[in-house]
């Protein structure tokens, strides 16, 4: 099938590369000429394990190419994906300006029947709005103001489909090839048939060169546009709720003397609950959960409903970042003049995404309190330095720890679980803890409960976890 993907951000680039890998001809469109030039040189603007190899391999094979021309992409394709960003506005509402521009541009470029697939995360009801914008673009084209002159049968030129993505940064390629489900929002039998054909290799788990994680077919859920859009928001809101819930339990565990890691294990084995997203820590961040929870709250308020649970989910998440600073204050007392080392800056491991990263939020609080903050991240260090110039970004965990009074693990990178803790302790300030008679060893604040407390203490640290 001939596929156009408009937007070469995280979702667009991953989706385009994976669709090319299963045998489609994919043309990726982006308005940023510099980004397209980068991709044509084989350079990937984001970090996602395996993505550079997948993009370059399919580019060399001719199944994947890049252009700044939306008109060219739409004209050459059977199906058109909208994957542009919908960042949050200050009031929490999704910014749909890029979707609006693209939808009109698609209408101006139509040269035959297309399935227009909205994969950007958009507010409930946006499918009909996108169709309206496509119609406006078609009208402009027919009137001769733009585009190529109009269609013979404009009333049957396209169908709009909602096809939300459920990709996890760091494992997006696996999630694309082996999804839990594929959701299609449409009432057009023609569009549904085309979408089933497009996704057939994924539904039947017959991706070339890759072993299926499960043998059964992937659920192919067909619903109306509005329900498909709501599924995306509801899924992310529920996962965010699980994280905030376990963090709330962790805070109770600390007070009663329980260990949240054991509590999470015990409740996660209940199949009704499940063990994923039950890791206590600094809370959630990234590009999806904060934006989608805020957008869903904005939608509910537009319809006269007060989302009390979602408000609490947000509040708990913000409080976790302040709690980390309070833990450091309990150990070091006054933070002004102290040096704090942070290991991990990206909002999660295996990505360079710093959007709403808890580590950066904590760093900003510490800097405001007068502390010196040093940090290391295997991938996201340079990006963090651009976002927060006051941050001292280091080349290794040991450089970050050198002279520090306390150490915070903020992102659970695998390499941090294998650190030489004795050597790390040796780099830290010999005066650590001198201001507190109750503490002789520097504190290691395990913000992700990544390490074994006994091993940390044996290396000469005072261990402090989250809910432990």
Of the candidates 34, 43, 36, 8, which has an alpha carbon nearest to the alpha carbon of residue 119? 8
Please state the separation of Cα 269 from the chain's center in Å: 26
The one-character DSSP state at 88 is B
Distance (Å, rounded) from C-alpha 188 to C-alpha 410? 47
Q: Are 158 and 113 in contact (CB under 8 A)?
A: yes
Q: Which of 4, 28, 253, 288 is catalytic?
A: 288
- SS3 of 272, please? coil
Distance (Å, rounded) from C-alpha 163 to C-alpha 160? 10
The one-character DSSP state at 94 is B
Q: Are 283 and 320 in contact (CB under 8 A)?
A: yes
Q: Are 400 and 341 in contact (CB under 8 A)?
A: yes
| Cβ-based burial of 226 (10 A; exposed 0-12, middle 13-18, buried ≥19) | middle
Inter-axis angle of helices 126-142 and 225-256, nearest 10: 140
Residues 6 or more apart in contact with residue 11 via CB below 8 angstroms: 83, 119, 120, 165, 167
Q: Point out which residues pair with 114 in neighbouring strands.
A: 158
Of the candidates 344, 309, 336, 326, which has an alpha carbon nearest to the alpha carbon of residue 417? 344
| Cβ-based burial of 436 (10 A; exposed 0-12, middle 13-18, buried ≥19) | middle
Give the CA dihedral 59, 61, 63, 65, nearest 10 degrees: 30
Residues 6 or more apart in contact with residue 79 via CB below 8 angstroms: 1, 2, 3, 4, 114, 115, 116, 117, 194, 195, 198
Sheet of 2-6, strand order: 64-67, 25-29, 2-6, 79-82, 114-118, 158-162, 182-185, 220-223
**φ, ψ at 463 (rounded to 5°):** -90, 135
Active site residue 288: yes
Catalytic positions are 288
């Amino acid at each position: 099938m001939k596929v156009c993907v408009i937007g070469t951000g995280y979702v667009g680039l991953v989706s385009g590369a994976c669709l090319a890998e299963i045998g489609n001809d994919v043309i990726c469109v982006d308005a940023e000429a510099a980004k397209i030039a980068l991709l044509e040189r084989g350079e990937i603007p984001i970090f996602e394990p395996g993505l550079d190899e997948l993009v370059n391999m399919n580019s060399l094979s001719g199944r994947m190419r890049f252009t700044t021309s939306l008109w060219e992409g739409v004209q050459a394709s059977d199906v058109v994906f909208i994957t542009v960003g919908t960042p949050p506005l200050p009031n929490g509402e999704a910014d749909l300006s890029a979707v609006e521009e693209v939808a009109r541009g698609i209408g101006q470029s139509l040269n035959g029947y297309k399935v227009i697939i909205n994969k950007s995360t958009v507010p409930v009801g946006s499918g009909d709005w996108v169709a309206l914008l496509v119609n406006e673009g078609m009208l402009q084209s027919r009137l001769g103001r733009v585009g190529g002159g109009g269609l013979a049968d404009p009333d049957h030129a396209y169908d709009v489909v909602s096809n939300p993505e459920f990709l996890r940064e760091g494992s997006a390629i696996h999630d694309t090839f082996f999804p839990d489900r594929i959701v299609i929002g449409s009432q057009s039998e023609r569009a549904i048939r085309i979408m089933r054909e497009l996704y057939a290799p994924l539904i039947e788990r017959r991706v070339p060169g890759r072993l299926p994680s499960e043998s059964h077919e992937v659920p192919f859920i067909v619903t109306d546009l509005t329900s498909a859009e709501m599924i995306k928001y509801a899924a992310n809101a529920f996962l965010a709720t699980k994280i905030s819930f376990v963090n709330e339990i962790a805070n109770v565990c600390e007070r009663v003397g329980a260990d949240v890691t054991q509590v999470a294990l015990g409740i996660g084995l209940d199949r009704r609950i499940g063990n994923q997203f039950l890791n206590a820590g600094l809370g959630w961040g990234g590009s999806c959960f904060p934006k989608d929870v805020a957008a869903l709250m904005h939608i509910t308020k537009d319809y006269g409903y007060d989302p009390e649970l979602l408000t609490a989910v947000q509040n708990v998440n913000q409080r976790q970042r302040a709690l980390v600073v309070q833990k450091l204050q309990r150990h070091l007392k006054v933070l002004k003049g102290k040096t704090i080392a942070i290991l991990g800056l990206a909002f999660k491991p295996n990505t360079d995404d710093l959007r709403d990263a808890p580590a950066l939020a904590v760093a900003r609080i510490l800097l405001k309190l007068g502390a010196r903050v040093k940090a290391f991240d295997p991938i996201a260090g340079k990006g963090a330095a651009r976002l927060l110039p006051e941050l001292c970004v280091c080349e290794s965990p040991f450089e970050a720890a050198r002279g520090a009074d306390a150490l915070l693990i903020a992102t659970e990178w695998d390499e941090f679980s294998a650190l030489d803790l004795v050597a790390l302790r040796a780099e830290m300030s010999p005066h650590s803890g001198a201001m507190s008679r109750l503490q002789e060893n520097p504190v290691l604040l395990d913000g992700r409960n990544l390490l074994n407390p006994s091993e940390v203490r044996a290396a000469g640290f005072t261990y402090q976890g989250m809910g432990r």
